[in-house]
Amino acid sequence: MKTVAFTANTVTTETGSSLKLAVLFGGGLLLYSLSQWLAFATRLQPENMPIFWPPAGVMLALLVAAPIRIFWPIVFGLAVATLICNHLAGREFSLNVLLTCNDIFTGVVGAALYKKWLGKASPVSGTRPYGTFLVIIALSAILSATFGSFILRYQFGTAPLDVWHHWIGAMVLGLLVATPLLICANERSIVPNSFKFDAELLIVLILGSIWLFIAQSGATSSQSMRLAADIAMIPLLLWVGVRRTALEASSFLAIVTTIKILALALDAGPVSLKSWPIPDGVSWVMAVFAVQCGAVLMLVANHSEQGALQLDKAEQTARMRSIIDAATDGIISADHKGKIETFSRSAERLFGYQAGEVIGNNVKMLMPNPYRDQHDGYLQHYADTSEKKIIGIGRLVTGLRKDGTEFPMELSVGEALNGSQRVFTGFIRDVTEHKKTEQRMHDLQDELLHVSRLSAMGELSSALAHELNQPLTAIKNYAQAAGIMLKKDMGKEELPGILAKTVEQAGRAGDIIKRLRSFVTARHVERSDHTINQLVDEACALALIGAREDGVKARIIHGNDIPNLRVDRIQIQQVLINLVRNAFDAVRQSPVRDVSVTSERRADSVLICVSDSGPGLAPEAEANLFKPFVTTKPGGMGIGLSLSRGIAEAHGGTLTYQRNAGGGADFLLTLPIETDDKTSS
């Protein structure tokens, strides 16, 4: 038990300096001897026993404060001091030894219990530790009184019960007045700030001195006056108990109690013990003192507890505040009606308001219309239905700054219950920068698509030149023929036909250039309703330029019932041109050179399949097929398929590969039919 009880002080032993220990040892023993002297001053006849035993309290405080290194030396010192004091008080040797043993034994037991049950807590740090302290006091007093009564009986033949309750009273009072010493004995003092001398303390001291003068001095011999002064002291004690720190209040109480007991013993108190039937009168007076002391200390303990709770709360609030202020996201809390309660530093930066300007106002002041006008309705709706639209979900909304500008913000809202009322906390992130980056990414994507289209057309340049050359040559031939006819003035009836063919050829060349221009122009994404079959035709017209010359047989098979889809025309054409050009490249070296493009309606999508009779893809090449920069072509960039899949997915569709029955490649592009909800640009 000793090991458990005293280990707590090992730390002090290691860190405490020798000087500190010497002061504790010497000062403690001196104080103990003084308290013995004080106790003997309160001896009453006929038992010749003190009615007040502060040495018990001083011993307890010393043993609680003593580090393990000097614990037993202090016990020894206390024993010697007790023997000397008892001797000086005229006690016979054997009684002296027995009483000393009793004092030391009960002191060590009391200290062990204190360390085990209270550890390093101050006895008045709360109502619970105080209750434990009272139990320790009671046990120590009973133990000491019981042994003591038997010692006296053995020595003088006194009936044990004659002194038992008397002894207990003296011990209890002696231990109660040691409270300030025990507070100091514990490292973790509950005293929030060190001793403060202020006007209030001055008033206490003045009133205390007046009380001392009237009540206990020989200034008046009227016992009723002394009694009135004693009663007047009670409110002062209570006031000090509530207003001052635990150390100050318990010290004041200890001084007042000691003076009162001394006055009684010296027959200068409100009642004369000497004239009372003894021992009953003494016991009653001591009981009244003990209750008075106990009650004031209870008040002190309760007050300390409240103080500690308030400190805890203040500390928690301060910690919470620092977290809120350090957060990079804006944090705003509001009550169930939307009234702002907290507005963090970053929220101040985001919205341009100071916390003082918004706290107490409705949170809707931070939103632009139409949300501002609808917000009360949202809160009411949530209160009525508990249907969560934003709480725990998070959303992109618009915030309104003090200067009237709006900004995109990501808002997530948490909810807590404060009693029965809901409290909402919003976490806000300004996504203006994020949105700008997103826009830039879009622009870059557009540029990349544009570059890719230019590159595709670059690859087509010689075939294009050839394609354009045909109508131009035809136009030239028709024009020459017409010229000859006019010159020779013959066959004029054929001229309208020749001119019509010229116009037709010029139109053909114009169409090619028009498509080419619209395909390669830099542009932003634009979605509108398009006839898919027409879109396929136009894409193939460009993609298959030069195919016939290379001996490629191209087929376009339109499915029936294909609805218009809401797509970006150029992007879908870009996908198709890329797929068809790849197919074209794949079949170039094959004996059979077939490329087909088919469209087909599925349940909720349209499928466009670009199929070829080429060699297809090796299984290991399939895995990386849609990754950027994967190419097998000498001049290829390898971005066509990855861009194409990106476009398909941005439209809510898919782009996949499969090997067809002939061993060639099938690229399957699906586009969803209900595009309204699923797609966004």
CB of 640 or CB of 672, closer to ligand ADP: 640
Nearest to 362 by CA among 347, 373, 370: 373
For the chain, how far is it from start to end, CA to CA, in angstroms? 77
Q: Please state the closest distance from residue 565 (CB atom) to ligand ADP, in A.
A: 23
CB of 31 or CB of 520, closer to ligand ADP: 520
CA distance linking residue 423 with residue 15, whole number of Å = 48
CB of 37 or CB of 626, closer to ligand ADP: 626
Q: Please state the closest distance from residue 623 (CB atom) to ligand ADP, in A.
A: 12
The DSSP element (H or E) to which 595 belongs, if any, is: strand 594-601
Q: Please state the closest distance from residue 566 (CB atom) to ligand ADP, in A.
A: 26
Return phi, psi of residue 660, to 5°.
-95, 175
Q: Please state the closest distance from residue 438 (CB atom) to ligand ADP, in A.
A: 25
DSSP 559: P
Burial tier of 29 (Cβ tally within 10 Å: 0-12, 13-18, 19+): middle
Q: Please state the closest distance from residue 458 (CB atom) to ligand ADP, in A.
A: 12
Taking a C-beta distance cutoff of 8 angstroms, is the pair 87, 79 a contact?
A: no
**DSSP string of 164-202, one letter each residue:** HHHHHHHHHHHHHTTHHHHHHHSSS---SS-----HHHH
Q: Please state the closest distance from residue 658 (CB atom) to ligand ADP, in A.
A: 11
CA distance linking residue 429 with residue 388, whole number of Å = 20
CA distances from 490 to 98, 237, 346, 486, 493 (A): 160, 140, 91, 7, 8
Burial tier of 606 (Cβ tally within 10 Å: 0-12, 13-18, 19+): buried
Q: Please state the closest distance from residue 455 (CB atom) to ligand ADP, in A.
A: 8
Taking a C-beta distance cutoff of 8 angstroms, is the pair 617, 626 a contact?
A: no
CB of 175 or CB of 597, closer to ligand ADP: 597
CB of 104 or CB of 637, closer to ligand ADP: 637
Nearest to 660 by CA among 591, 583, 601, 555: 583
CA distance linking residue 504 with residue 501, whole number of Å = 5
Q: Please state the closest distance from residue 583 (CB atom) to ligand ADP, in A.
A: 5
Question: What is the distance, to the nearest Å, from the Cα of residue 551 to the centroid of all Cα atoms in its chain?
Answer: 71
CB of 208 or CB of 616, closer to ligand ADP: 616
Q: Please state the closest distance from residue 641 (CB atom) to ligand ADP, in A.
A: 3
Could you give the 3-state DSSP secondary structure of residue 118? Answer: coil
CB of 178 or CB of 669, closer to ligand ADP: 669
Taking a C-beta distance cutoff of 8 angstroms, is the pair 290, 172 a contact?
A: yes
Could you give the 3-state DSSP secondary structure of residue 610? Answer: strand
Q: Please state the closest distance from residue 366 (CB atom) to ligand ADP, in A.
A: 48
CB of 47 or CB of 612, closer to ligand ADP: 612
Rounded (5°) CA angle 669-674-679? 75
- Contacting residues toward ligand ADP, per CB under 6 A: 578, 582-583, 586, 612, 614, 616-617, 625, 630-633, 636-641, 665
Could you give the 3-state DSSP secondary structure of residue 655? Answer: strand
- In the complex, which residue's CB is closest to ligand ADP? 640
Taking a C-beta distance cutoff of 8 angstroms, is the pair 379, 336 a contact?
A: yes
CB of 346 or CB of 582, closer to ligand ADP: 582
CA distance linking residue 159 with residue 194, whole number of Å = 49
Burial tier of 584 (Cβ tally within 10 Å: 0-12, 13-18, 19+): buried
CB of 54 or CB of 614, closer to ligand ADP: 614
Q: Please state the closest distance from residue 616 (CB atom) to ligand ADP, in A.
A: 6
Q: Please state the closest distance from residue 543 (CB atom) to ligand ADP, in A.
A: 12
Q: Please state the closest distance from residue 590 (CB atom) to ligand ADP, in A.
A: 10
Q: Please state the closest distance from residue 636 (CB atom) to ligand ADP, in A.
A: 3
CB of 578 or CB of 599, closer to ligand ADP: 578
DSSP 362: B
Structure tokens at 172: 């209890």
CB of 532 or CB of 586, closer to ligand ADP: 586
CA distance linking residue 6 with residue 120, whole number of Å = 11
CB of 408 or CB of 638, closer to ligand ADP: 638
CB of 312 or CB of 649, closer to ligand ADP: 649
Nearest to 457 by CA among 583, 524, 569, 542: 542
Nearest to 111 by CA among 170, 181, 163: 181
Q: 10 Å Cβ neighbour count for 154?
A: 13
Burial tier of 377 (Cβ tally within 10 Å: 0-12, 13-18, 19+): exposed
Q: Please state the closest distance from residue 499 (CB atom) to ligand ADP, in A.
A: 43
CB of 111 or CB of 609, closer to ligand ADP: 609
